[in-house]
């Protein structure tokens, strides 16, 4: 048993203390579906050929992850810290860009990597596309990368039948990590600004749903523009709703944020380089146990194992909030779907522009009566705005004006940086003017009879705007 004060201090050390540094970097991760244009499963042999080709083309990248079959699933450039890897499965490629101080530098490198990889895939009848759910997911092999982390993750997601006493209806897609893709942004936020950043950015999640939704569950639920939210919420990650989605509380200070961290669940740890899964449980309950019984993967099978909790296991607490604190001292914004590739930088531009405009953003929210202050929490509003049909209590024109006011504020924040990054917000102004978002556009095009492959190719096109 570990004393609660020790746990609280360790949580502070891991999540809060790193934000004491005054830095101002940007990190971007973009996950992208791989599509076999023959309407067959993505050919993993093709994936491995493309990986080898990438390593030959970009010789500064070194092996960073090898799976149990001796295939590379991650390459890293030690100079820039850029990573080209596969996320959860070989159906999903990811470009995790090393931290930089401006978006142009990141965009240049991303465009170079993406163009090369897309061209390589197209030699084999495959392509990449900018969608939050793989449009050809029904053809794919839903197999995790045979590696320690991804086997553990899939094992956890498949374990939903083991939970009979939780007030949650699980969906039928435990493999969703193999077909859903996100665009994530990490920003350095100092401890002094941490509480306001979380509180204020949480309140604009409904607006982000309106602007960025782009995950249509093709063929099964074509009525929701952002199905990714439900995939996380109604999975084993959502056994404890504090581990996913919105905060829906206003924190008064760091102490309250620490209390929230204490409310999180833990479901895995490592021992001797191997992951061990166990039923998701609150971290305070976990540290009160002398032993916890879990499962460890060994030679193709799982066997039971008892482990003794260690205070260092806090590093394996894995919340998947829309706004996450990381061990690197950054705030990670992770509620946005992968965007059409030509618009990839608009996600980071939006968050970066608002980061130092918290007072003004809070004032916009406090003075609004179009969306907010109508009896709904921000979390409830987001659930409403992932649909096309706007509730009757919301005036559509006024909602567009509210969205534009927020994007204008982001643009002002970027202009004050004096680099010209505000041009990356242009796609958002187009969406506001047309009352649409990428997911809604997909559904409109499909209703018009536009061929899905044409949409796939269009959303995968990279037209550099600089």
Tell me: the pLDDT tens digits for 2-42?
Answer: 999 999 999 999 999 999 988 899 999 999 999 999 999 99
Distance CA(257)–CA(262), nearest Å, equals 9
What is the C-alpha radius of gyration for the chain, rounded to an integer number of angstroms?
Answer: 22
C-alpha separations of 240 from 237, 302, 314, 442 in Å: 7, 24, 17, 33
pLDDT digit string, tens, across residues 126-148: 999 999 999 999 999 999 999 99
User: What's CA 336's distance to the chain center, in Å?
Assistant: 6
Query: How high is the pLDDT of residue 84?
Result: 98
Q: What is the pLDDT of residue 222?
A: 66
Contact 77, 98 (CB under 8 A): yes
What is the topology classification, in CATH, of domain 20-145+168-262+320-460?
A: Creatine Kinase; Chain A, domain 2 (3.30.590)
Q: Which of 404, 118, 437, 150 is nearest to 297 (CA)?
A: 150
- CA angle, 44 then 50 then 53, to 5°: 145
Given this model, what pLDDT does residue 23 score?
86
Q: Indicate the average pLDDT of the chain.
A: 96
**369, pLDDT greater than 70:** yes
375 C-beta neighbours (distance < 10 Å), count: 7
pLDDT of the residue at 36: 98
The predicted structure's pLDDT at residue 466: 31
pLDDT at 27: 97
Query: Do the strands 330-333 and 274-282 form a parallel or antiparallel pair, or are they unpaired?
Result: unpaired
Mean pLDDT to the nearest integer, 240-244: 96
Query: What phi and psi, each to the nearest 5 degrees, are found at residue 387?
Result: -100, 160
Sheet containing 265-271: which strands, arranged edge to edge? 265-271, 274-282, 292-298, 301-307
- Decide: 103 and 418 in contact? Cβ < 8 Å: no
**Residue 154 predicted with pLDDT over 60:** yes
Q: Where are the domains of the chain?
A: 20-145+168-262+320-460
**What span, in angstroms and rounded, lies between the C-alpha atoms of 321 and 333?**
8
C-alpha to C-alpha distance for 369 and 58, rounded to whole angstroms: 52
Q: Return the pLDDT at 464.
A: 46
Q: What percent of the chain has pLDDT over 90?
A: 94
Q: Check: pTM over 0.75? Answer yes or no.
A: yes
- Give the separation between CA 265 and CA 14, rounded to whole angstroms: 16
Pairing of strands 274-282, 265-271: antiparallel
| Listed residue (435, 362, 373) closest to 398, CA to CA | 435
- Convert the pLDDT of each residue in 71-120 to its tens digit: 999 999 999 999 999 999 999 999 999 999 999 999 999 999 999 999 99
């Amino acid at each position: 048993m570990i004393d609660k004060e020790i746990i609280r201090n360790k949580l502070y050390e891991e999540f809060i203390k790193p934000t004491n540094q005054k830095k101002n970097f940007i990190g971007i991760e973009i996950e992208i579906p791989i599509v076999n244009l023959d309407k067959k499963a993505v050919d993993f042999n093709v994936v491995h050929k493309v990986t080898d080709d990438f390593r030959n083309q970009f010789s500064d990248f070194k092996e960073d992850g090898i799976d149990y079959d001796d295939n590379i699933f991650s390459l890293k450039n030690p100079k820039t810290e850029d990573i080209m890897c596969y996320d959860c499965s070989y159906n999903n490629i990811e470009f995790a860009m090393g931290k930089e101080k401006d978006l142009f530098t990141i965009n240049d490198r991303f465009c170079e990597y993406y163009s090369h990889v897309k061209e390589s895939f197209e030699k084999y009848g495959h392509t990449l596309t900018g969608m939050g759910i793989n449009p050809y997911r029904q053809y794919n092999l839903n197999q995790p990368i045979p590696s320690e982390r991804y086997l553990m993750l899939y094992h956890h997601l498949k374990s939903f039948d083991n939970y009979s006493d939780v007030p949650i209806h699980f969906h039928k897609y435990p493999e969703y990590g193999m077909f859903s893709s996100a665009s994530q942004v990490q920003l350095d936020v100092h401890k002094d600004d941490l509480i306001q950043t979380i509180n204020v950015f949480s309140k604009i999640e409904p607006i982000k749903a309106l602007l960025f939704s782009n995950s249509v569950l093709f063929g099964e639920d074509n009525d929701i523009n952002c199905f990714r939210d439900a995939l996380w919420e109604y999975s084993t990650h959502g056994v404890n709703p504090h581990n996913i989605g919105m905060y829906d509380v206003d924190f008064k200070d760091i102490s309250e944020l620490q209390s929230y961290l204490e409310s999180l669940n833990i479901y895995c740890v490592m021992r001797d380089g191997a992951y061990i899964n166990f039923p998701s449980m609150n971290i305070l309950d976990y540290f009160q146990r002398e032993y916890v019984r879990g499962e460890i993967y060994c030679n193709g099978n799982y066997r039971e194992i008892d482990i003794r909790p260690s205070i260092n296991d806090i590093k394996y607490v894995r919340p998947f909030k829309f706004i996450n604190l990381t061990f690197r001292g950054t705030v990670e914004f992770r509620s946005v779907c992968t965007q059409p590739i030509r618009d990839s930088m608009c996600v980071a531009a939006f968050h970066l522009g608002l980061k130092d405009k918290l007072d003004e953003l809070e004032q916009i929210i406090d003075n609004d009566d179009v969306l907010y202050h109508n009896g709904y929490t921000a979390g409830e509003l987001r659930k409403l705005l992932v649909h096309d049909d706007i509730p009757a209590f919301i005036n559509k024109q006024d909602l567009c004006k509210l969205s534009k006011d927020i994007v204008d504020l982001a643009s002002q924040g970027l202009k004050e940086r004096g680099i010209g990054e505000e041009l990356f917000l242009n796609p958002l102004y187009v969406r506001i003017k047309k009352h649409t978002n990428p997911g809604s556009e997909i559904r409109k095009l499909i209703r018009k009879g536009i061929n899905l492959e044409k949409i796939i190719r269009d959303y995968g096109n990279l037209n550099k705007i600089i």
